[in-house]
Amino acid sequence: MIPVDGAVVHHFSEDPSIREFVPHVPATNPDHRPAVWAIDAEHAPLYWFPRDCPRVTVWPRPTDDRNTFRRVWSTTASRVHVTESGWLDRMRTTTIYRYDLPAAGFALLDASGQSIAETTVTPVNVVAIPDLLAAHAVAGIELRFASTLWPTHDLAVSNDWDFSIVRMANALPRP
């Protein structure tokens, strides 16, 4: 694995009191070895949601035609994040905490910005993000709410841009 570039990586949680991150096997991937999971700054906005919130996020690849992205997604924003309308109140009221973790000891998994460490990690800083809607707005990310995520999911996986799909098991069933 490749060492992480930069001084810190991030972990997001609704828990403001984590003193250390201990390697564990994720419930969603029981075959994975124990690890501490983190994300780089570029991909951090993927986690500006309540933990269990289903979401689809898309952004143009650096080598792709941004005009196609803008046309298909009807936006001039650099990214589009979509969740279900039923999560609006939680998006308004949930505070999440960005834990800054020393990048030394983490190894990049792939181009997704995710990295792992196989040893216990102590945060160097904790920053509250009390307004998730404002975090998106300040970053220039278009945040959308939809009655169902499935049309957005299907468009995202069409492979014309980069995307991340998180917690779809918590989404409403496909109509």
Dump strand ranges (E) for the chain. 2-3, 8-13, 36-39, 55-59, 79-84, 96-102, 107-108, 114-117, 125-129, 141-146, 162-166
Reading the chain (175 residues) residue by residue, the pLDDT tens digits are 555 667 899 999 999 999 999 999 988 889 989 999 999 999 999 999 999 999 999 999 887 778 889 999 999 999 999 999 999 999 999 999 999 999 998 998 877 889 999 999 999 999 999 999 999 999 999 999 999 999 999 999 997 899 999 999 999 999 8
Q: What is d(CA 112, CA 42) in angstroms, rounded to the nearest whole number? A: 10
pTM for the full predicted model: 0.92
Give the per-residue pLDDT at 3.
58
* Domain residue spans of the chain: 2-170
b/e map 17-41, b = 16+ CB within 10 Å = eeeebeeeeeeeeeeeeebbbbbbe
Q: Are strands 141-146 and 79-84 parallel, antiparallel or unpaired?
A: parallel
